[in-house]
Chain A
Amino acid sequence: MGRLRPLNRPEPVRVVPGPHGGPARVRLDARWRGVETVLEAWRIDDEWWREPISRAYFSLVLEGGAHLTLYHDLVEGRWYVQPQ
């Protein structure tokens, strides 16, 4: 049996939030990129009986056309990039 490696593990990212709480700018590859549009926003609240998971997800189009899925961890207050 070989080794197991997690897939689609979230990576921390720096984000400047906008007026409605969604991301306005995202720091990627050592430079800030503006958010062109929010395609979709949804929330995941789970496992309140264990270690609660509370995430606000945003599917984004960045300036230049790149697509990105981010979430705001509402428990610890940090932002992550979520590979899909």
Chain B
Amino acid sequence: MSGSGSSMTIDARWRPRPDGFARGSRMALCIWWRDFELQIERARAPELAGRPLALSDESGGTRRVIEQACALAEARGVRPGQRISQAVALCPSLVLLEQDPDVYDAARERLLAILRAWSPVIEPAGERGRVLVGVDGLERLYGPPEGQIDDLEDRLRRRFPAAVLDRIRFGYAPGKFAAWVAARAAPPGGRLVVPAVRLPAFLAGQPVDVLPVSPRMIQRLRRLGVDRLDRFVELPEPALIAQFGADGRRALEWATGRRVDRVYPERRERPVRVSLDFPAPVGQIELLHGALDRLIARALRRTKGSGRSVRGIRVGARLEDGGSWSIRAILKDSTGRPDRLGAFLRSRIALSPPPRAVLELRLEFFRFGPSAAQTDLFDPRHDAPRVTGSLETRDGELLPPLREASRQLRLRLGEGVLYRVLELEPHSRIPERRHALLEIA
């Protein structure tokens, strides 16, 4: 979950797509629900209307902090990341709520389902309350941009309470960045449509902190007195590149409207979900670990058919006395090994344990990596005493299948054709000192 949602990461990588939406959508509609989670809480408890609200973050263990604060609380000095005691001292009437991720995820799914029925190009954008929609070609269905937003608003109104919808903002512009900036500039419950011809003029009046770059870069620009994009675009490009590298160049392209990132349809993988009900509430972490190991084994059995390794994992729980808890993690290297998944999840749970006893534990694999199956060439079954991650056995010999492959290559191509990359000084700043090639004899 994010705090105020005032910044955004643009996923601008080139991605080949085999489907019919390969080109993506140039025109984008950004739907931004600031403080989505707090709005959902307000809808659940109408008696909270007009009171300053904040969500607490339990992940710091005993050091509880503010995760998200509504505009009313922020006006009284409450900020995300602040200690609870400090926040209450600043705003004694603050209503502090525990997060209920199940409810927020369900509301987000409801939002996405409406959007998917409205446009084929949907791209979730980081936080739960922000989604980008490709609108190229939709004028034939719903009319001009204003009519499109009216139609979408009507659909949302049928599924969400009016009080919640009053906070939603729509930004309609060429590309993801401009659409997000337009949504940010729109009033709560309002909209902003920026046609392509007005794009540079519109961007010129925006503050520099709309740029999807590092906070450090924004801070440095502000220190230099560059607080709006019209002043930013006046900076010479070579100086920007020298100061900020590729970030500087990209930021300039966004700020001038030269760069337009298309909206691409999300790639939805079918998640693997398993769960375990406890006959009695479980509070002991060791019992949860045992249950988690069983769930990992069950979930991996289901992925075996496809041979995929696991990259994204969500662990959730239904808690005693109501409410829910969840953690979400992306592995740096995907794996299909239960011991690695178990160790990784245990360390994450230790950082952010369930606040109360657990009634039901759930595990979901939602992102997958390449096949977890080993190829024959590197199959450890060929050699039990193999050093982990190496092509050699403990006594320095090559693995038998690799030795045979090497022999055949040398026979065919001669000596000096097969090398292994050897790490020398992998973290050296001098590129040629990092690695060398070692001939496989």
Contact = CB atoms under 8 A, between A and B. Distances in A.
Interface of A: 1-10, 20, 22, 37-42, 44, 46, 53, 82-84
Interface in B77-134: none
Helix, strand, loop or mixed for chain B's interface? mixed
Contact of B432 (A1, A3, A8, A42): A8
Contact of B435 (A3, A8, A22): A8
Nearest to A42: B245
A46 B430 contact: yes
18 contacts: A1-B438, A3-B439, A4-B436, A4-B439, A5-B436, A6-B437, A7-B436, A8-B431, A9-B432, A38-B241, A39-B246, A40-B245, A41-B238, A41-B242, A44-B429, A46-B429, A82-B431, A84-B431
Contact of B439 (A2, A44, A46, A83): A2
A1 B432 CA distance: 21
B418 to A, nearest CB: 9
A27 B401 CA distance: 45
A3 B245 contact: no
B17 interface: no
A5 B434 contact: no
A7 B241 contact: no
B439 A5 contact: yes
Contact of B422 (A4, A9, A40): A4
A10 to B, nearest CB: 6
Given A39-B249, A44-B429, A5 B238 contact: no
Contacts of B245: 40-42
Contacts of A83: 431
Interface in B409-441: 416, 419, 421-422, 429-432, 434-441
Nearest to A10: B432
Given A3-B439, A40-B241, A41-B241, A8 B434 contact: yes
Contacts of B238: 20, 22, 38, 41
Contacts of B246: 39-40
B437 A7 contact: yes
Top-10 shortest CB links A-B: A2-B439, A5-B437, A2-B441, A40-B245, A7-B435, A3-B439, A8-B432, A9-B432, A8-B431, A4-B436
Nearest to B420: A2
Given A39-B249, A41-B242, A3 B438 contact: yes
Contacts of A5: 419, 436-439
Contacts of A4: 422, 436-439
Contact of A2 (B429, B432, B438): B438
Interface of B: 238, 241-242, 245-246, 249, 416, 419, 421-422, 429-432, 434-441
Contacts of A7: 421, 432, 434-437
A18 to B, nearest CB: 9
Nearest to A84: B431
B188 to A, nearest CB: 39
Contacts of B422: 4
Given A10-B432, A40-B241, A40-B249, 4 more contacts: A2-B438, A41-B245, A44-B429, A84-B431
A8 B419 CA distance: 14
- Please indicate which of the listed interface residues A8, A82, A84 has the most CB atoms of chain B within 10 Å of its own CB: A8
Nearest to A59: B246
A9 B422 CA distance: 14
Contacts of A1: 438, 441
Contacts of A46: 429-430
A49 B188 CA distance: 60
A24 to B, nearest CB: 12
Nearest to A71: B431
A53 B432 CA distance: 13
Contacts of B430: 44, 46, 53
Nearest to B246: A40
Contacts of A20: 238
A2 B434 CA distance: 18
Contacts of A42: 245
Contact of B440 (A2, A40, A82): A2
Given A1-B441, A39-B246, A39-B249, A6 B241 contact: no
Contacts of B437: 4-7
A9 B431 CA distance: 8
A82 B249 CA distance: 22
A27 B432 CA distance: 22
A6 B437 CA distance: 6
A1 B422 CA distance: 12
